[in-house]
Structure 1
Amino acid sequence: MHIAHFTNTYKPNINGVVRSISTFRQALTRLGHQTFIFAPEARNYEEEEPFVFRYPAIDLPRFDYSFPLPVSPHIDWVFPILKPDVIHSHHPVVLGQVAADKAEKYNLPLVFTFHTRYTSYSYIVPFSEAFVNGIIVEWLAHYIQRCQHVITPSDGIGRMLRDYGGIRERITTIPTGIDLTPFQQADSSPIRHRYGLEQLRVLVTLGRLSMEKNWKTLLAAFAQVVQQQSDVRLIMIGDGPMREELEEYIEALGIKEHVILTGLLPFEQIPAHLKAGDLFCFASVKETQGLVIMEALAAGLPVVAVKSTGVNEVVHDGMQGLLTKEDSSELAKAMLLLLENEDLRKRLRSGALTKARTFDSRKQAERLLAVYEQAIEDKRAGHHVPVNRELLKEHRRQLGRALASG
């Protein structure tokens, strides 16, 4: 099968969408299928894989992303030559719109993965939140109706779309799979030596340094841990627009000597950095899936996290980790409990490794192929994803809030 992925973000960026596309691409290739990536250009980046086609783009330094300009005569020329069987869109706008247009032009099935809680970014636009959320929800509904199938990374997002939009057909939950091998083979010793952590207890977290990840709640919790346990360090893996603000907040909390900001790391280094920790901590309530938590489990780390959709589906409280309310004191108590109770850490570590085996990327890729095959049949039959517009109109505000809050 020939599969065309359209995405507004791809390597060298590192985020959940890029991880998902890259992981599925590798697994599909191993299964004998050909995948093509259509993404924004990345200046000064040398491609490491074949069949990546780039649209021109404008850099947006504030957001660490580039904005694609959806015009490319070269791609327009090469696209039909590739003979795709299905188009897989990862965003409902910009290159996602190009994907939908090409699906119509070439009579191809369109599959859309609902990666992101889009309304959680409404704060970026200087209008009322309710107004912006309403526009986003209407746009999503319009886009989904152009598709043959919608994929959600978690059951929670699927339930929201069913309950508030009446989308009950041609919707499937398929979490991003994980290649477990790099996590099983990673050696954490060089990382602990590099940062002088041999005799210390280490918490690790991972994610883009941006507002929606709720970093200040996590750091406030860690500051409470430091007050009781001075021999702890926190490794924060990632970068983003909040880095300078978070550095100032860390200093204000008096924990600068206890926090290690690694900056952006290539994926190849992440398994070893995760395994350098004794536990993984996370405070975001905006996750659609909790991919970074899945990776933490693959590294054998027990998790302390805030209860939220996406996170709840990966970690069961008391089995792979401890889940708390969105409260820094509650998070701190859970962190301290795990740090002080070695038997509990060992039990949750065993649960983490067991759960991680269910994330095998080949299994998820096989499920994705089944969706593609169904989408091809539905396109031939003239079927699209049905949206109940009356139900959506009635519950539009609830859906906007639910997608924003988690």
Structure 2
Amino acid sequence: MKKIKRICIVADAYPTETDPKNPFIDQLVIAFTELGIECIVLNPVSLTKKIIRKSVLRPKRWSKKTNSSVIEIYSPRYLTFSSKKFWFINTNFLNLILFQYSCLKVLKEIGPNFDAVYGHFIFPSGISANKISKKFNIPAFFAYGENTNYTIDNLGADKTRKLLKDINGVVAVSTANKENLLKQNIVDENKIGVFPNSINNKLFYKRDKVEMRKKYGLPENAFIVAFVGRFVDIKGANRLSEAIQIVGPDKVKSIFIGFGNVGPNCDGILFEGKQPHENIPELLSAADIFVLPTLAEGCCNSIIEAMACGLPIISSNRSFNDDILDETCSIRIDPMDINAIAEGIERLYENEDLRKKLSDGSLKKAQFLNIEERSKNIIAFMEEKIQDKSQDTKR
């Protein structure tokens, strides 16, 4: 079986220190380099969006050092148009073509000598990875971790299916995501592997609660609920806030890490706002439980990070959580039911033995959700699919 030694990563968003969007693809790429795999990232940047938002353009070529390697990132400019659909005009097609052109232009300059190309999400990166595959005869894969259907809806299921017809494999982050692809017949089932998201366990691990509370000036004896996520309706900071008011802010204090327009307004908030990524595990370790009444996820990193810090979880009973949450580590609730969220909090507030049981369960589950194992399993899956395709071609 041929081993993968060099990967081209395609991502329409890649984090920098000043623009930290999409950190999880960066963590996976770093994990790939730790396996001795050379990674080149194609990260086209929309010139239109940068001009409109008056934001600083990242260099056309830049690099990031890891413990074992240097990741080279190329950020060619391309124009984009607002997403509109008329009778026979869909500007998403034009955006896709321009995105693909910018990727192909870089590959013509640096050479397409890769063992695989990996697109992060379906549109535009996954479809572009398949375009690169056809152009340069490189096996292509894409990750499917979207929390809604938006990357399929951009072009429609029929067109998306045709554009991904020859893809070698798909890395789905949950069984629910896999089922969504199958329901819409986007790719064949034998091409899909399920690899739940994971954490860097060198950063996310349980710290001493008393020490962390002293460090951040939090009350030593308070019962603290933690939330991490964007302040948007889909994540549910507003619903958690209402539930805390029902339980009583005299009993429960809270930490809300995130930003957005649909934030908390309950009493007893100890901290609200953004935090550097490296501070999050310390603040999680200072809390007693983690609550995220989310409506839609691919596979939620925030939940896994909280589990790694030893927190009992209260979260959605919807299928996207099935791969990571069960009765050993969590209380599953209807994320739209404020009273159910409040009852879950009250139950954990009153039952120290249950908190201990779910905390132990979280730590145990998180041991198997680390980025090192995930990266190894994804590479093994890709190598297997390349081998399968090679054998099919010979028949």
Distance change in 2, residues 1:238/1:58 (3 Å)? farther
Q: Distance in 2 between matches of 1:137 and 1:369?
A: 28
Could you list the per-position Cα deviations for residues 277-332 of structure 1 after superposition, in whole angstroms to 9, with x for gaps in the alignment?
10000111211112211111101000011211221221102x10111123110011
Q: Corresponding residue for 2:332? A: 323
- 1:271 equivalenced with 2:291 (yes/no): no
Q: Corresponding residue for 1:30? A: 34
Q: Corresponding residue for 2:106? A: 75
State the secondary structure of the residue aligned to 1:314. Answer: coil
Question: Where do 5+ consecutive residues of structure 2 fail to align?
Answer: 46-54, 66-70, 82-94
The one of 212, 219, 225 equivalent to 1:197 is 219
Aligned residues: 351
Aligned partner letter, 2:124: V
Q: Distance in 2 between matches of 1:39 and 1:205?
A: 31
- 1:373 equivalenced with 2:383 (yes/no): yes
Distance change in 2, residues 1:9/1:192 (3 Å)? farther
The one of 170, 177, 184 equivalent to 2:198 is 177
Displacement of 1:73? 8.0
Which of 1 and 2 has higher RCO (CA within 8 Å, sep 6+)?
1
Q: Corresponding residue for 2:307? A: 297
Could you list the per-position Cα deviations for residues 203-232 of structure 1 after superposition, in whole angstroms to 9, with x for gaps in the alignment?
111112334323332222222123xx4142
Tell me the TM-score normalised to structure 2 length: 0.79
Q: Distance in 1 between matches of 2:347 and 2:294?
A: 20
Distance change in 2, residues 1:145/1:195 (3 Å)? farther
State the secondary structure of the residue aligned to 2:157. Answer: helix
Q: Corresponding residue for 1:246? A: 262
Q: Distance in 2 between matches of 1:79 and 1:103?
A: 16
Q: Distance in 2 between matches of 1:316 and 1:171?
A: 23
Displacement of 1:343? 1.1
Contact 2:244 / 2:252 at 8 angstroms: preserved in 1?
A: no
Contact 1:307 / 1:324 at 8 angstroms: preserved in 2?
A: yes
Question: Where do 5+ consecutive residues of structure 1 fail to align?
Answer: 61-66, 123-131, 384-406
Contact 1:285 / 1:309 at 8 angstroms: preserved in 2?
A: no
Q: Corresponding residue for 2:256? A: 236
Residue correspondence of structure 1 range 18-57 to structure 2 within 5 A: 18-19=23-24, 21-41=25-45, 43=56, 48-49=64-65, 50-56=71-77
Q: Distance in 2 between matches of 1:36 and 1:217?
A: 41
Displacement of 1:134? 9.3
- Which 10-residue stretch deviates more, 171-180 or 6-15? 6-15
Contact 1:6 / 1:89 at 8 angstroms: preserved in 2?
A: yes
Q: Distance in 2 between matches of 1:190 and 1:321?
A: 23
Note the aligned Cα RMSD (angstroms).
Answer: 3.0
The one of 266, 272, 279 equivalent to 1:261 is 272
Distance change in 2, residues 1:55/1:273 (3 Å)? farther
Could you list the per-position Cα deviations for residues 93-121 of structure 1 after superposition, in whole angstroms to 9, with x for gaps in the alignment?
234443222221110111011110342x5
- 1:141 equivalenced with 2:152 (yes/no): no
Distance change in 2, residues 1:179/1:6 (3 Å)? same
The one of 98, 102, 112 equivalent to 2:128 is 98
Q: Distance in 1 between matches of 2:213 and 2:15?
A: 24
Q: Corresponding residue for 1:127? A: none
- 1:109 equivalenced with 2:139 (yes/no): yes
Contact 1:8 / 1:96 at 8 angstroms: preserved in 2?
A: no
Q: Corresponding residue for 1:4? A: 8
Q: Distance in 2 between matches of 1:105 and 1:321?
A: 47
Contact 2:9 / 2:41 at 8 angstroms: preserved in 1?
A: yes
Displacement of 1:267? 2.3
Whichever structure has more helix as a proportion of its residues is 1
Contact 1:92 / 1:143 at 8 angstroms: preserved in 2?
A: no
